Amino acid sequence: MTAMTTAAVLFRAACPDCRGCFELGAGALRLAIGASRRTTFYSFTCPDCGSAVRKPAGERIIELLTGGGVSTLRLHSTV
């Protein structure tokens, strides 16, 4: 049996508050998928200034993040 080595996936991100640019691992990002575009987003904490950042996630972003191992939360409507 051979052990498979996988390189850590890094995602480029930027903070709108401090304008810092950096790379984050999958564990530093969270993805929420809701019923609409308004409720589908990814979030992270800026490593430079500590701001909580939330950005919209379209289909391509969702595909990249889930493929890279980012934890996903599916939001359900209460109606």
Please list the pLDDT of the chain residue by residue as tens digits (79 residues).
Answer: 444 445 688 999 999 999 999 999 999 999 999 988 889 999 999 999 999 999 999 999 999 999 999 999 998 765 5
Report d(CA 16, CA 42) in Å as an integer.
Answer: 14
Evaluate whether 13 touches 4 at the Cβ level (below 8 Å): no
Evaluate whether 13 touches 19 at the Cβ level (below 8 Å): no
DSSP string, 7-45: PPPEEEEE-TTT--EEEEEGGG-EEEE-SSSTT-EEEEE
Q: Looking at residue 5, what is its pLDDT?
A: 46
What is the pTM for the complete model shown?
A: 0.81
